[in-house]
Amino acid sequence: MIKITLPDSSVKEFPDPVTSLEIAQSISPRLAKEVLSATVDGETWDLTRKITKDATVKLNTWDDREGKETFWHSSAHLMAEAIEFFYPGTKFGIGPTVDTGFYYDIDLPDGQQIAEKDLQEIEKKMLELARQKNDIVRKEISKGNAMEMFTQKNDELKQELISELEDGTITLYNQGNFTDLCRGPHLPNTGYIKAIKLTFIAGAYWRGNENNKMLTRIYGVTFPKQKMLEEYLIMLEEAKKRDHRKIGKEMELFTFSEAVGQGLPLWLPKGAQLRMQLEDFLKKVQKMYGYDQVITPHIGDVKLYKTSGHYEKYGKDSFQPITTPAEGEEYLLKPMNCPHHCEIYKAKPHSYKDLPLRMAEFGTVYRYEQSGELHGLTRVRGFTQDDAHIFCRPDQLKDEFKKVIDIIFIIFKALSFDDYTAQISLRDPENPAKYIGSAENWDKAEKAIIEACEEKGLNTTTEKGEAAFYGPKLDFMIKDALGRSWQLGTIQVDYNLPERFNLEYIGADDNRHRPVMIHRAPFGSMERFVAVLIEHTAGKFPLWLAPEQAVVLPISEKYNEYAQKVSNILNNSDIRTVVDDRNEKIGRKIRDNELKRIPYLLIVGEKEKDEETVSVRRQGEGDIGLQQIGEFARFVADEVKGQLSGLYN
């Protein structure tokens, strides 16, 4: 018999061997129908893979990330089988899962192409294959046999992947007439897949290298129920309306220029105002919590990032070093702010009485992303982090960590991010080479995060292998208005960079000690945060944040002067106001400014001029009546105060 420990800490005994599917059946027939994969001792397995020793097992359904990944991974293979049916001789690159489904990179034979109109036929074939309920079978073979197999298929893409694997056992998966090189895991059979939508086609360089061949990338999404697909397609249509690139253009927030370079956003005046409002808000909160602002350069000596370990881990994802012509010095566009902050800490000696030391910076950093991976503001090459680093004594660590959680809660409340989960990201004990530092320090850091979350009463999930290379972290996953998940806000505990930079403080015992470092970024990056915020609100920002809070619309040129007077009074009352004095009919002005999502539209004509009033329209609500200018100013101030009340207590 073997002992299986379940997530609720209960232990069940089973004959050796046992499969995860059999474990699910022993718990509930309904669960056995819903389970898609299992996490066995921290590794995701096929349900039919045999467990031969005592293990900790978590059964994954559609509600779990691992369950969706297994489902979509199998769907990628199903799509590949359908493509091979229509296009024999196709070479298959990689077919991973993504946040909203899967894709497969393929090399079609003889210059053939797949167009959007062809996707429907492939979908039909996938459904036909799924209904056959073919078993998806895992098979282990040697590296040599795998290479021979894909050489016979004349698939040099798979041959390249196999050549880079270590000698030993390699896994293949087969269903019906299709066999693929794959680590898995997969569904037990294709019948689990009930609803299919292939979403779009793109080009992608093999392995993301622009010097390699351009392949065809086909994206898709699948579900275990047709109703779920129908709901998803409705959400997709709404997502198109909320696309931050579309709304950003309509609201004149940001733009991109080929002359400047790909992935380098240009913030227009209204977008810059939006960013400044967010920055000012966070600065005010940080001041309450004892942070000092710092500023660091956009470049640094390569040696700085070698000391921190970032160059070794992320050097290939950074822009290549800049070499000075005279001295031959090597500088790097700053990929991270933390090494610079470590050097600020070292600028003078510190006593235990000086700690905690909290330094914050809206620091712009640069990462080289492949052009095919760039996407609006969510994936860029230059972005600004709302970064801060706290240097504290070990006995202060937990309290400082909890204070950062409080800051994140303030931000979520101010912006109506009400649906979120907190994920504790730990190291993968099976892969220590991914991380720097001693196991002892990692144990202390992980323990501090877990205890802090318990003391704050957070509902958390735990993911092994998702830690940063220098320390464990707490990530906040929010759901937007469409139910999509985004990672916003991160807090990381780091015992390792203080050692690498030889950071010290003099303790009460007059001896030298190492501080602990907390990395935190509640927004994450200003670019990505603004993109998520646009899509969450559909561009209808809360009044306190709106780059333009009111627009004055004169009904004819006769009232332009009065409109400007109103604007001046309101701007002097700290209400961000503009005038639309175009020679257009008032109906057109209203429609255009509704599209710009300006919260208040103030219409002025003869009556308003004579009575020194404004006719007020609220975005999306219509006319709310006449108000004196001063009355409207107080009305707006009270609304802003109400939105922010209680946040700074």
CATH code of the domain in which 39 resides: 3.10.20.30
Q: Are residues 74 and 52 in the same domain?
A: no
| Structural domain includes residue 457 | yes
Question: Is 244 one of the annotated active-site residues of the chain?
Answer: no
Annotated catalytic residue within 159, 175, 286, 385: 385
> What's the CATH number where 456 sits?
3.30.930.10
Q: pLDDT digit string (tens) for 567-618?
A: 999 999 999 999 999 999 999 999 999 999 999 999 999 999 999 999 999 9
Range of the domain at 7: 2-61
Backbone torsions φ then ψ of 311, nearest 5 degrees: -65, -40
Summarised one tens digit per residue, pLDDT across range 103-153 is 999 999 987 899 989 999 999 999 999 999 999 999 999 999 999 999 998
Lowest mean pLDDT among 46-60, 172-186, 249-263, 474-488: 474-488
Is 494 an active-site residue?
A: no
Check if 581 is active-site: no
73 labelled binding-site residue: no
Q: Is 3 a catalytic residue?
A: no
CB-based contact 561:580 (threshold 8 Å): no
The domain tally of the chain equals 4
pLDDT band at residue 427 using 50, 70 and 90 as cut-offs: confident
Query: Is 484 annotated as catalytic?
Result: no
Is the pLDDT at 443 greater than 70? The verdict is: yes
The CB density around residue 477, as the number of other CB atoms within 10 Å, is: 16
Q: Domain boundary at 32, 61, 90, which?
A: 61
Are 403 and 441 contained in the same domain?
A: yes
Structure letter (DSSP) for residue 635? H
- Whether residue 326 lies inside any domain: the answer is no
- What mean pLDDT is predicted for residues 275-293? 95
Q: Are 57 and 79 within one domain? A: no
In a domain, 564, yes or no: yes
Query: In the prediction, which pLDDT does 649 show?
Result: 58
Are residues 387 and 447 both part of a single domain?
yes
Catalytic residue of the set 49, 217, 275, 473: 473
473 an active-site residue?
yes
Listed residues 184, 201, 235: the one ending a domain? 235
Tokens of 250: 């309509």
The pLDDT confidence band at residue 60, using thresholds 50, 70 and 90, is very high
In terms of domains, do 24 and 85 share one? no
Residue 519 is labelled as binding a ligand? yes
Show contacts of 504-508: CB within 8 Å, 24+ apart: 504/349, 504/350, 505/349, 505/350, 505/351, 505/352, 505/354, 505/355, 505/393, 506/349, 506/350, 506/351, 506/352, 507/352, 507/393, 508/352
Co-location of 90 and 21 in the same domain: no
- Among 49, 77, 158, 367, the active-site one is 367
pLDDT single digits (tens) 535-574: 999 999 999 999 999 999 999 999 999 999 999 999 999 9
The pLDDT value recorded for residue 111 is 78
pLDDT at 313 over 90: no
For the chain, first and last CA: distance in Å?
A: 58
Judge if pTM exceeds 0.75: yes
pLDDT higher than threshold 80 for residue 79 = yes
Write out the E strands in 206-267: 214-223, 254-255, 266-267
Residue 540 DSSP one-character state? -
Catalytic entry in 186, 358, 519, 617:
519
- Lowest-confidence range among 400-404, 612-616, 620-624? 620-624
User: Does 320 map to a domain?
Assistant: no
Mean per-residue pLDDT of the chain: 92
- The confidence score (pLDDT) of residue 361 equals 97
The token pair at 496 is 């390792």
Q: Which of 338, 342, 392, 453 is catalytic?
A: 338
Residue 533 in domain: yes
Q: Is 342 annotated among the ligand-binding residues?
A: no
What single DSSP character describes residue 433?
G
Integer CA distances (angstroms), 546 to 114, 151, 576, in order? 44, 60, 8
Q: Quickly count: other Cβ atoms within 10 Å of residue 521's Cβ.
A: 22
- Fill in the DSSP letter of residue 468: B
**Nearest CA to 299 among 342, 325, 336?**
336
Cβ neighbours around 467 below 10 Å, total: 23
Quick check: is 618 catalytic? no
Task: Out of 61, 81, 103, pick the residue that ends a domain.
Answer: 61
Q: What is the mean pLDDT of residues 47-69?
A: 94
Please tell me whether residues 74 and 56 are part of one structural domain.
no
Catalytic residue, chosen from 389, 520, 528, 576, is 389
* E strand or H helix at 139: strand 137-142
Q: Angle, nearest 10°, between helix axes 143-152 and 156-163? A: 170
